[in-house]
Every structure is written in C-alpha cells, then in structure tokens.
C-alpha cells in the first residue's frame, strides 16, 4: 500500500504539534465514552491518529489496554510528553496487526487518508480486529478528495460511498450520526461518525 501520509499534512501537523497538543489535549472526544462502553473490561484498543493523546489517556484511565499511534512523529512526542502513553509513530498503511485488538479508535484522522488508499486501510483495520471487534471513525463529508483552507488533504466522501467502502471491506455498520461541525479552517460542513464491527463469524 502506498504511503498514506500526505507531505503537506505531515508538514502542517509537525509544525503545529505544540499548538494542537495545547488546544485539543485538555479533554477527550465526546464520542469516546459511549464507544468504550461497548467494550469488555480490560479490552485491548488501538488508536490511530492519537494526536495530543487525550483519547488514549482517557481509555487507559478507564482500565483498557491501549496502543496509541500517530503518523506524525512530532505528535507522538507531544502525546508521550503529556500523558506518558508509550505511543509510537505509525502511518495508516503500516498497520499490519492480525486479530490483535478488540477495538480500533480513529477519531477525525482517517479523513486525511487518500480516497484511493482508504479501502486498503479499512481492510487492514478489519484484519487487526478480533472477530466481533469494534471500530469507530469520523469523517468530513463532501463530494470528492480535496484540500481545506489550511492546505490539508481530506478524502471528503459522501455518506453512501463511505458506507459502501466499509461494507466491501467486510464491516457491519452498527450506528452512524451525521451532524454539522466547523473544521480547524473555520469551514462549516457535515460530519459523519460511523461505529462498525467485524462480524463474529
């Protein structure tokens, strides 16, 4: 699979890692606790795109075994500095685990994966999950891949394309929510949260 980390995105998050850690690492994502409530005590969770580390820290503090990763080494360094997570740098295309996790959490990060690479990444997430394992991801909706006002690459899928991509990868879609939200560039657009599961069989 080709490198899934766009050079402009890497440069953006490398330069702004201290700002993002300060601005966004003070509280965990609002969708996290309801997702964690689906898991058994002590379940093993992988976070993709951990950013400042606040979500992984919350999951760890709730008693889950957490592997925190991010494709941007500067973000990993800040997450470890703030929360001592033992996080490591890993791009989406480098995920090679097999039936190792009960859950994969990917809040507001897979939206940066190039559309051509996303099906392969979803398949890698499916393989990383144990049968019956859970996955959460959030995306900015749109009509095709492009860049926001800050120059960051987004896949901007429409909801039907995204649902189809998850189903083709082998996931069962358990829940979704579409809502309006403002991105870091100030643009208002619709977002979608997907909660999916690897089938038991």
**In total, how many domains does the chain have?**
1
**Does residue 1 fall inside a structural domain?**
no
What's the predicted TM-score (pTM) here? 0.96
pLDDT digits (tens, 9 = 90+) for 15-58: 988 876 665 657 899 999 999 999 999 999 999 999 999 999 99
What's 171's domain CATH number?
Answer: 3.40.50.150
- Given a cut of 70, whether residue 67 has pLDDT beyond it is yes
Q: Which residue has the higher pLDDT, 22 or 70?
A: 70
**Does residue 23 fall inside a structural domain?**
yes
CB environment 130-158: b (16+ within 10 A), e (fewer): beebbbbbbbbbbeeeeebeeebbbbbbe
Q: In the prediction, which pLDDT does 184 show?
A: 85
**Does residue 140 fall inside a structural domain?**
yes
**Does residue 61 fall inside a structural domain?**
yes
**Does residue 2 fall inside a structural domain?**
no
Q: Which residues contact 8 (CB under 8 A, 6 or more apart)?
A: 147, 151, 152, 153
**Does residue 135 fall inside a structural domain?**
yes
pLDDT digits (tens, 9 = 90+) for 149-181: 999 999 999 999 999 999 999 999 999 999 999
Q: How far apart, in whole angstroms, are the C-alpha atoms of residue 95 and residue 27?
A: 27
**Does residue 66 fall inside a structural domain?**
yes
At 28, list the tokens.
Answer: 């965990």
Report the DSSP pairing between strands 101-106 and 44-47: parallel
pLDDT digits (tens, 9 = 90+) for 99-135: 999 999 999 999 999 999 999 999 999 999 999 999 9
Domain limits for position 71:
7-197
**Does residue 24 fall inside a structural domain?**
yes
């Amino acid at each position: 699979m080709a490198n899934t980390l766009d050079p402009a995105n890497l440069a953006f998050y490398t330069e702004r890692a201290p700002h993002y850690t300060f601005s966004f690492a003070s509280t965990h994502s609002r969708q996290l606790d309801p997702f964690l409530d689906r898991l058994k005590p002590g379940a093993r969770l992988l976070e993709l795109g951990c950013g400042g580390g606040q979500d992984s820290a919350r999951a760890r503090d709730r008693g889950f075994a957490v592997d925190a990763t991010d494709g941007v080494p500067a973000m990993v360094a800040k997450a470890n500095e703030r929360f001592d997570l033992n996080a490591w740098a890993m791009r989406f295309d480098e995920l090679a685990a097999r039936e190792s996790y009960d859950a994969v959490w990917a809040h507001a990060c897979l939206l940066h994966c190039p559309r051509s690479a996303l099906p392969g990444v979803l398949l890698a997430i499916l393989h990383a999950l144990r049968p019956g394992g859970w996955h959460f991801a959030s995306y900015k909706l749109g009509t095709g891949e492009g860049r926001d006002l800050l120059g960051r690459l987004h896949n901007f899928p429409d909801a039907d394309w995204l649902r189809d991509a998850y189903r083709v990868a082998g996931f069962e879609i358990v829940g979704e929510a579409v809502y309006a939200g403002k991105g870091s560039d100030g643009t208002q657009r619709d977002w979608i949260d997907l909660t999916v599961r690897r089938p038991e069989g």
